[in-house]
Amino acid sequence: MKKIINKPENFVEEFMEGILAAYGDRVKTLDPEKKILVRSEKPAAGKVGIVTAGGSGHLPVFLGYVGAGMLDGCAVGEVFASPSAKKMEDMIRYVDQGNGVLCLYGNYGGDVMNFEMACENLDFDGIRTEQVLVKDDVASRPKEEADMRRGVAGMVYAFKVAGAAADEMLSLDEVAQTAREALENIRTMGFALTPCIVPMAGKATFSIGENDLELGMGIHGEPGIEVCEMKPADEIADIVLDKLLDDMPVASGEEVSVMINGLGATPLEELFILYRRVHERLKEKGISVYMPHVGEFATSMEMAGASITVFRLNDKMKKYLRKAADTPFYTNHNK
Amino acid sequence: MKKIINKPENFVEEFMEGILAAYGDRVKTLDPEKKILVRSEKPAAGKVGIVTAGGSGHLPVFLGYVGAGMLDGCAVGEVFASPSAKKMEDMIRYVDQGNGVLCLYGNYGGDVMNFEMACENLDFDGIRTEQVLVKDDVASRPKEEADMRRGVAGMVYAFKVAGAAADEMLSLDEVAQTAREALENIRTMGFALTPCIVPMAGKATFSIGENDLELGMGIHGEPGIEVCEMKPADEIADIVLDKLLDDMPVASGEEVSVMINGLGATPLEELFILYRRVHERLKEKGISVYMPHVGEFATSMEMAGASITVFRLNDKMKKYLRKAADTPFYTNHNK
């Protein structure tokens, strides 16, 4: 294993200390274990809070989106492991300004169980919460089982849109409804070329053949839908885009945002080669792209590969997507 | 070779097409070969132009910094190869608004030769240019030969500061002097864990042992100053920081900006583990960090590793560093 780390057991604590050292003017932690990250300033009075949670190893997801215009807090787990219900509960208590808190997170067993426990406890104390689960990964389950799909990079669009809605001082129900409406129009699929290494394991816990491509692999190495020989970029882009548009048809004349997300080890150049093809194919179909996002948004440490997300827009979603945001890992200064 | 590409010979053209498809509202190319990238809008009348050039395979360097507050243009070469003098010349003719153009680029043989040819031709036509070479890589030559050092990630700070100075409508001499002053206070050193693959070669053209770390390796795989066994992150950070501060002493009470730059395949988590240590060590020395930059700024495709840059600041440099900028790969919306 060649990783730029110290003791594997200190991996999460140490990168959190690095993030706090770099961005301590904008974010802070609430606990000595540094597992609850919130904005330095409390949310505006009356604003609905928005929080998320999840395992580590996916930067900028999840905690990188805590900041102005997006999230109010994130509970941070160990690598690929959910944070505890207690951390979620403490975070929500802190974030709540009396108008309730939206829990917006990926559909993973541990996170769901812990958020449910946390919200139940909060309910006793009269703190209102709503839970909206991100299930954008079309490769994780067939369409008939869409409700059991995992959440991947599409969650970044959901954070953005919900954050903008909350900043307009909408109610908890309205913010939750906005997030649900966004997610109904977001689909993602990824593919991996190499595995990643969990620091405590010290070696890859799954493998991908030397010349293979795993279509649909999850961000923790969950098996995909097909292992095949490595293909040219355009072919990969076509397979993924067809799958997304088959699951969520987009008509000629409509607008989408597209996210080409690197999983960690893939050069930026290659992400733009993918984007080129996706853009071209959409253009042929009469679909235009608004505010493309190309870069690393939700990674799996040193996994090589990428995911493609399509977000079908309407005027409301465009407005929320465009609105200014400023977090340590996401900046948008549109007027 | 597993790269997300189509034909290797189309690598540069295709990622350029992707960049133009994504950011066509902000940048454009001047030539059918798409090797001259400029801002969509001409520089303001009277503003000194700032251009750079270099081989491909280092995104966001070099072209990613063309945009408001930074560069006016970039001539783009094939992977690890200088663009032609003709492209540089055409770019400078376009960018010049009558007050001259600063050529600000890394100290590599081909780039130097071609910029010199271009500037000589322009001189015949009365177009004024100044050349400032970036030589921030302390590992590439000992201090006595500092003038022969290569330019690496520190150039991004130079682009930022020179761009801000040009926006204040300073003269060509003043903008060039500002860039030189910045560069006198910028030092970088990198280290690599794995090699990278030039698409046309199809395999790594140099190797790094399974358990080895190459201290000081260049962004094209130029040999470093030492090959050693892989070390803990803190030890690596200490070695690099000591080397930087030995070359350019910084006194207690001074302020620096620090860039932790991932070379391509290194997870963000690991960059923050490095930042943590650098921040801590500087703090012990009474040196504070202003506007840290942690992420990918100058890469070598899928090379794993990182570089650390220290930029010693004064009030003028802080002002220019802070000033707003908006390019496809660098956004800063400070007031």
Tell me how far CA of residue A323 lies from CA of A47, A164, A165, in angstroms. Answer: 16, 6, 10
- Look up A279 and say whether it is catalytic: no
The residue of chain A nearest to residue B331, with distances taken between CA atoms, is A331
The pLDDT of residue A1 is 72
**Alpha-carbon gap, residue B149 to B133, rounded angstroms:** 10
The pLDDT of residue A34 is 98
Q: What is the mean pLDDT of residues A194-205?
A: 92
The residue of chain A nearest to residue B334, with distances taken between CA atoms, is A333
* pLDDT greater than 90 at residue A68: yes
First-to-last alpha carbon distance for chain A, in angstroms, is 46
Tell me how close the Cα of A193 comes to any Cα of chain B, in angstroms.
7
* pLDDT greater than 90 at residue A333: no
The pLDDT of residue B335 is 58
Within 10 angstroms of residue B231's Cβ, the number of other Cβ atoms is: 16
**Which pair of tokens denotes residue B316?**
């003028």
**Contact (CB, 8 A) for B246 and B280:** no
Q: pLDDT above 70 covers what percent of chain A? A: 100
- B301: chain A residues, CB-CB within 8 Å: 267, 269
Where does B24-153 have alpha helices with state H?
A: 85-95, 109-124
**Contact (CB, 8 A) for B326 and B163:** no
**Which pair of tokens denotes residue B282?**
């500087």
The pLDDT of residue A217 is 93
Please judge whether A56 and B211 are an interchain contact, meaning their C-beta atoms are less than 8 angstroms apart.
no
Q: Cα B275 to the chain's mean position, in Å?
A: 19
Spatial CA neighbour of B269 closest among A13, A145, A40 = A13
Tell me how close the Cα of B164 comes to any Cα of chain A, in angstroms.
18
The pLDDT of residue A138 is 98
* pLDDT greater than 70 at residue A335: no
Higher per-residue confidence, A42 vs A88: A88
Spatial CA neighbour of B78 closest among B58, B101, B64 = B58
Q: Assign A167 to helix, strand or coil.
A: helix
- A266: chain B residues, CB-CB within 8 Å: 4, 302
**Alpha-carbon gap, residue B278 to A177, rounded angstroms:** 44
What predicted TM-score, i.e. pTM, was given to this entire model?
0.98
Output phi, psi for B311, to 5 deg.
-120, 110
Q: What is the mean pLDDT of residues A300-319?
A: 97
Output phi, psi for B254, to 5 deg.
-85, 165
Output phi, psi for B135, to 5 deg.
-140, 55
Please judge whether B4 and A326 are an interchain contact, meaning their C-beta atoms are less than 8 angstroms apart.
no
Please judge whether A267 and B5 are an interchain contact, meaning their C-beta atoms are less than 8 angstroms apart.
no
Please judge whether A234 and B302 are an interchain contact, meaning their C-beta atoms are less than 8 angstroms apart.
no
Spatial CA neighbour of A327 closest among A55, A72, A17, A51 = A72
Mutation target for A interface from B1, B2, B4: give the one with most A CBs within 10 A. B4
Which residues lie closer than 8 Å to A26 by C-beta, 6 or more apart?
A39, A40, A67, A326, A327, A328
Q: Report the DSSP pairing between strands A129-134 and A186-192.
A: unpaired
Band (pLDDT 50/70/90 cuts) for residue A318 is very high
**Alpha-carbon gap, residue A115 to A76, rounded angstroms:** 13
**Which pair of tokens denotes residue B233?**
């992150």
Mutation target for B interface from A15, A269, A272, A335: give the one with most B CBs within 10 A. A269
Spatial CA neighbour of A106 closest among A58, A142, A69, A70 = A58
**Contact (CB, 8 A) for B106 and B114:** no
Q: Assign A204 to helix, strand or coil.
A: strand
Q: Kindly tell me the sign of the dihedral angle through the C-alpha atoms of A313, A317, A322, A324.
A: negative
Q: Cα A160 to the chain's mean position, in Å?
A: 10
**Which pair of tokens denotes residue A63?**
């905690």
The pLDDT of residue A307 is 98
* pLDDT greater than 70 at residue A322: yes
- The low-confidence residues of chain B, meaning pLDDT below 50, are none
Q: What is the mean pLDDT of residues A16-31?
A: 97
Where does chain B have alpha helices with state H?
A: 11-23, 85-95, 109-124, 155-167, 172-184, 233-247, 268-284, 315-322
Of A4, A21, A267, the CB nearest to B270: A4
**Alpha-carbon gap, residue B243 to B305, rounded angstroms:** 17
Tell me how close the Cα of B40 comes to any Cα of chain A, in angstroms.
17
**Contact (CB, 8 A) for A191 and A244:** no
Q: Cα B130 to the chain's mean position, in Å?
A: 18
Q: Cα B244 to the chain's mean position, in Å?
A: 17
Q: Assign B241 to helix, strand or coil.
A: helix
* pLDDT greater than 80 at residue A144: yes
**Contact (CB, 8 A) for B153 and B307:** yes
- Look up A220 and say whether it is catalytic: yes
A217-242, pLDDT tens digit by residue? Answer: 999 989 889 999 999 999 999 999 99
- B18: chain A residues, CB-CB within 8 Å: 271-276, 279, 294
The residue of chain A nearest to residue B57, with distances taken between CA atoms, is A269
Q: Which residue has the tokens 């490769």?
A: A139
